[in-house]
Amino acid sequence: MDATATIFISIASYRDPELIPTLQDMLRHAAHPENLHLSVCWQDDEKLSLFEQCGMTPEGSRIVAGQKVFAFRYRQARIDIISVHYYASQGACWARSMAETLFEQEAYFLQIDSHCRFIPGWDDEMVAMLRQLQQKSARPILSAYPPPYCPGEEEEASKKHYVSRLILREFNPQGIPMLTSTPFTATGPVRGSYLAGGFIFTHGDFVSTVPNDPQIFFAGEEIAMAVRAFTHGYDIYHPHKPLLWHFYQRKAHSKVWGDHSNEAKAQGAVDKAWWERDNISKKRVRTILGLETADAASLAPYGTGSARSLRAFEYQAGICLQKGTVLPEVMSAEKINFFPTPPDDHAQWLARQYVWYKKNLTLEPAVWRADDGEAGNLHLGVYNPQNMLLYKRTLDARELQVLHTTSPDGNLNLSLEFKTANAAQPAVVRICPWSMTSGWGTVTEKRW
């Protein structure tokens, strides 16, 4: 990496004990730490001496955008800390936006979460990969859900070495696409349509072209950013080899939705409960996606761009945002997330689409057992609010036995997944057991 390849690194950290280990690992494995400028929005209630105790040298403070910034030096890298009490946090993208105020026109931009590990020479690898992609795209982005690691004594052994690409999981009740990932193998980065908030690497001007919207709380962050990046002319690629790892199983760690509760608001600790910010956030995401009456341009500077249209994004991703439908290939075994060529006929493209639904159900013994004990069959039907049958499924005795043996508590854990041309949302699932001796059992309704 040459001397001009400076990297601005944005890190949002919420009460995260993995922050310090992440900083240490990142800089220990950097080929050129002297080229790195780390900006951390630290939402916590700890003292700044924590950084000194870990070997970071304080270099004074300054005021930027009304916030006091504390400077540290570690392994030649600059680390700027914006220290905010966790009750003053306004969400993940607010913290990312705060971190971006310290951008100093560095050549490259890296956005990560505060619980990561890195390959040796990760900075050289990212820069080289992005430069290679410039032969294909004027504005490439590297993004993916990194493979997992788990901190602790077995940390090295816990690191997985597969890579994945982002795909559609489902539309949530607000019509917002939610993402997941699927592994792939390739000899080079592969094109995609979606990006991950926990790993974005691109040119530095992304910070000013597609800045984080501070009012996006959490859910919808990634699809909103993907659409905005696309409409500003950026092309997303998923790396073909691991560049970093991410800690996903953080059940014991504090979360903003746990701290910013109704009780915390009633006590005056926060001015808004997390769900109030989330409601505002989802409306902004829906506006970006063309699902609200407001124009996305009204969100400037956090709106869409003019290089490409929202419909062009839909064609590329194989989804219709207005209808909440997808092409069959999107949910097929191949999980296609990128269609390089737009359709010749929009009406035919729409006609090929389906609504996909997926739900995990827990069925208690009283629900799935027949009156005389074991059921011979279990019948399930999914209905919309107008009582129209959308989907039905029958489990035979063998299938019930397999589910039963994998559920030691006696409950059956069942996944329902189906497609329909009817866009009406499912409302209820009706479940009824049947046996040869006692016939039909009791019908149980569960909300979808």
Q: What is the CATH number of the domain that holds 17?
A: 3.90.550.10
Q: Are both 271 and 413 inside the same structural domain?
A: no
- Assign residue 430 the CATH number of its domain: 2.60.40.4070
Structure token digits, residue 232? 């500003």
Q: What is the pLDDT of residues 272-285, one digit of tens each?
A: 999 999 999 999 99
**Cα separation of 190 and 372, whole Å?**
56
Q: Are both 197 and 287 inside the same structural domain?
A: yes
DSSP state of 362: E
- How far, CA to CA in Å, does 446 sit from each of 191, 383, 430? 40, 11, 7
pLDDT band of 1, cuts 50, 70, 90: low
| Mean pLDDT of the 16-30 span | 98
| Mean pLDDT of the 299-319 span | 97
In this predicted structure, the answer to whether residue 26 has a pLDDT above a threshold of 70 is yes
**Cα separation of 133 and 187, whole Å?**
13
What pLDDT, on a 0 to 100 scale, did the predictor assign at position 423? 66
What pLDDT, on a 0 to 100 scale, did the predictor assign at position 4? 73
Q: Are both 72 and 211 inside the same structural domain?
A: yes
Give the residue, 183 or 357, on which the prediction is more confident. 183
Range of the domain at 105: 1-353
Chosen domain end from 315, 337, 353:
353
| Mean pLDDT of the 48-65 span | 95
**Cα separation of 233 and 137, whole Å?**
9
DSSP state of 425: P
| Mean pLDDT of the 372-386 span | 86
In this predicted structure, the answer to whether residue 130 has a pLDDT above a threshold of 80 is yes
pLDDT band of 401, cuts 50, 70, 90: confident
Q: What are phi and psi of 5, to 5 degrees?
A: -85, 60
DSSP line for 283-345 = HHHHHHTT-SSS-GGGGTTSS--SSS-HHHHHHHHTEETTTTEE-GGGSSTT-----SS--S-
In this predicted structure, the answer to whether residue 173 has a pLDDT above a threshold of 90 is no
What pLDDT, on a 0 to 100 scale, did the predictor assign at position 3? 61
In this predicted structure, the answer to whether residue 65 has a pLDDT above a threshold of 90 is no
| Mean pLDDT of the 392-421 span | 86
**Cα separation of 75 and 52, whole Å?**
13
Name the percent of the chain lying above pLDDT 90: 79
Single-letter amino acid, residue 235: D
Query: How many domains is the chain built from?
Result: 2
pLDDT band of 208, cuts 50, 70, 90: very high
Chosen domain end from 332, 353, 374:
353
Q: Are both 333 and 194 inside the same structural domain?
A: yes
Q: Are both 315 and 435 inside the same structural domain?
A: no
Q: Are both 256 and 404 inside the same structural domain?
A: no
What pLDDT, on a 0 to 100 scale, did the predictor assign at position 2? 62
Give the residue, 175 or 190, on which the prediction is more confident. 190
Work out the mean pLDDT of the chain and round it to a whole number.
94
Q: Are both 281 and 417 inside the same structural domain?
A: no
Chosen domain end from 353, 384, 400:
353
Structure token digits, residue 383? 């209905």
**Cα separation of 261 and 211, whole Å?**
28
Determine the distance from the C-alpha atom of residue 221 to the mean position of all C-alpha atoms in its chain, rounded to a whole number.
7
In this predicted structure, the answer to whether residue 15 has a pLDDT above a threshold of 70 is yes
Give the residue, 435 or 50, on which the prediction is more confident. 50
Q: Are both 328 and 384 inside the same structural domain?
A: no
Q: Is the pTM of this model over 0.85?
A: yes
Q: Are both 113 and 16 inside the same structural domain?
A: yes
Q: What is the CA radius of gyration of the chain?
A: 24
Q: Are both 204 and 340 inside the same structural domain?
A: yes
Cβ within 8 Å of residue 155, ≥6 positions away: 117, 149
3-state secondary structure of 181: strand
Name the percent of the chain lying above pLDDT 70: 98
Q: What is the pLDDT of residues 258-273, one digit of tens each?
A: 899 999 999 999 999 9
Q: Are both 71 and 201 inside the same structural domain?
A: yes
Peptide bond into 17 cis (omega under 30): no
What pLDDT, on a 0 to 100 scale, did the predictor assign at position 82? 98
